[in-house]
Structure 1
Amino acid sequence: MFKILTLECIFVLRLLFGSLMDATISDSFRQFIRSRYGRNVADLLARDDLGDVGSYGGGDHVAGQKTSKYPVIFVHGMLTSAGTTQTMASFFQSSGGYSEEELYATTFGPRGSLVISGAMDCQYSQTIRYMIIAVSEYTNSPVNVIAYSMGVPVSRKAILGGNCVEGGDLGRGTLTQYVNTFLGVAGPNNGALGCSLPLASFLTTCNSINGLRCGSAFLSDINSRQHYEGQYVYAIQSTGDITVGTTVCGAQTSVIPGANYILTFEGLSHIQVCTLTGEQQFNLVTKHSVN
């Protein structure tokens, strides 16, 4: 069911909306990353292997100059890519006056493919961690992060840093100082409802180490501290979300512990709460208000 709904979301977005964004990160942003962090990191964030859906952002910005707005980094979910967040980025352009210098995304996941499992590998969070640091330093500004579905826990771990539960290390210290506002939309922060079903523990997505099973080592890690995701932390959820669920193991799964504000919609599906709440997403990260 999760795959069907997510694929439907991709189809609808690509069918109804054109992109105002350039394909892949700009040459100037790519060169900045390469000179600062090396070619491997530049390739990791550009995701040329995925073509025009692999990444975007940077425009003609001069590295080190401060942007007029806090740049926004969009983080996709399972079975999707940076390209599927272009609709929301285009909304920020048309409605909020954002430029390509202020809108960014990359694709986390295996080279040459999309994330097809809910197991949240260390490399996924490492990719987003690199992106947050690179955009912040490139624009000389704190960033805003809007993450969707599985991208929410992946991004929270990217900001938290430290050891990965399956091995590996993201580096010491949180990235709290890099993030002005963090917004998690329909994130399985306490696990996905389907992973509570009998025999679900045999699925990679629902494994007890870095999977979406409630109480997994990964989810316990990111929920062990509060309000590290940014100066302002918000979450959006819906009572009609049957993909990640609403209440999982006794907790509202899309709620981020310690968040400044939780916005709850009635009856919206997982797809709808991600794609039909653009105005509220925009207002939360730019005005710290839903109106």
Structure 2
Amino acid sequence: MYGKAIQDRLERVDMGLGMLGTWGDGGITPLCEKTFTCEDVKQIRQFIIAVTEYTGSQVDIVAYSGGVAISRKAIMGGSCVDTGEELGDRLTGFINTFVAVAGVSYGMETCLTQKSGNLINGVNCNSQYMRDINFPDNRYEGTFSYFIYSDTDEIIGQQCCGHLCPELKNAIGFSRQTNMPHANVILMTEDIQLKMVQHLWKALNQMEI
């Protein structure tokens, strides 16, 4: 799965707009009212499986904002924290590269006093959902994983339970943007996203932190 910009640049025509995925209601629900439901997770999980079956090969995923948290659980599988429903085994083998862009990886600093900040399936770094997707010690999002973040992200924030909020656990590389608002991170880092998908981005131990 690719964001539209990367899809255009790679000239992916095998599935047309079907290569684009979304979750939930596409932004109708206000940010601080949205939670990570099992239904949303299943929607993305089914999409990943469908694309993999259609192409007959591994897929690449560029996930953005809350889509990072949803995609990670969709890949991870196991039980949903809100319903207890069993999703199934991990889909790690289905994914080659996973790129988290301005992602809700360890949580968010905003919305904590509203519905989205609940301690079951919310963005609070102490919620069952966030702890669940960050519990594994090994990389499960794909063979390769990267993250891109802004040090001035006004939505995600920076500090989540001792971690950088958008930091993707076990990622092999990252890109830090400065003075870039949340909404611009996905739009203004297309070249970096492409390099990561094509494995042209330096690994973490080769980069300045």
Is 1:153–2:69 an aligned residue pair? yes
Corresponding residue of 2:28? 114
SS of the residue corresponding to residue 236 of structure 1 reads strand
Q: 1:158·1:170 contact (CA, 8 Å) conserved in 2?
A: no
Per-residue deviation, 1:233: 0.7
Equivalence for 1:215: 126
Q: Which letter maps to 1:131?
A: F
Cα deviation, residue 171, structure 1: 2.4
1:192 counterpart residue number: 108
- Cα offsets for 1:113-158 (capped at 9, x unmatched): 7343331001111000000000000110100011100000000000
Give 2:83's aligned residue.
167
The offset of 1:241, in angstroms, is 0.5
Higher relative contact order (CA 8 A, sep 6+): 2
Cα gap change, 1:115 to 1:157, in 2 (>3 Å): farther
CA distance in 1, matches of 2:39, 2:29: 12
8 A Cα contact 1:126 1:170, kept in partner: no
- Residue 89 (str. 1) matches residue 1 (str. 2): no
Q: Distance in 1 between matches of 2:166 and 2:134?
A: 12
Q: Which of 149, 154, 160 is residue 248 of structure 1 equivalent to?
A: 160
**Quick check: 2:154–2:181 contact (8 Å CA) kept in 1?**
yes
Q: TM-score, normalised by structure 1?
A: 0.64
Name the structure 2 match of 1:60: none
1:164 is displaced (CA, Å) by 0.6
Distance across 2 between alignment mates of 1:92 and 1:113: 22
Match of 1:273 in 2: 185
What's the secondary structure of 2:68's corresponding residue?
helix
Asked if 1:128 is matched to 2:14, the reply is no
Counterpart of 1:45 in structure 2 is none
Structure 2 unmatched ranges of 5 or more: 203-209
Residue 146 of structure 2 contacts residue 196 of structure 2 at CA under 8 Å; is this kept in 1? yes
Aligned equivalent of 1:287 = 199
Is the CA contact (8 Å cut-off) linking 2:121 and 2:128 kept in structure 1?
yes
SS of 2:135's partner is: coil
Deviation at 1:269, TM superposition (A): 0.9
Matched, 1:258 2:157: no
User: What's the secondary structure of 1:106's corresponding residue?
Assistant: coil
Q: 1:99 to 1:243 in 2, by over 3 A?
A: same
Aligned-pair CA distance for 1:263: 1.3
Whether contact under 8 Å (1:135, 1:143) holds in the other structure is yes
For 2:61 and 2:196, how far apart are their aligned partners in 1?
11
4+ residue segments displaced more than 3 Å: 112-116
Tell me how many residue pairs correspond in the alignment. 198
Deviates more, 1:151-160 or 1:113-122: 113-122
CA distance in 2, matches of 1:242, 1:251: 16
Cα deviation digits, residues 245-269 of structure 1 (max 9, x gap): 0222321011111111121111211
Is residue 206 from structure 1 mapped to residue 117 from structure 2 by the alignment?
A: yes
Secondary structure of 1:271's match? Answer: helix
Provide the secondary structure at the position in 1 that maps to 2:82. coil
One-letter amino acid of the counterpart of residue 199, structure 2: K
Q: CA deviation at 1:272?
A: 1.4
Larger radius of gyration: 1
AA of the residue aligned to 1:92 = Q
| In structure 1, C-alpha distance between the alignment counterparts of 2:151 and 2:176, rounded to whole Å | 7
Instruction: Provide structure 1 residue ranges, at least 5 long, that are not aligned to the other structure.
Output: 1-72, 75-87
Higher helix share goes to which structure?
A: 1
Percent identity reads: 33
Aligned equivalents of 2:85 and 2:20: distance in 1? 23
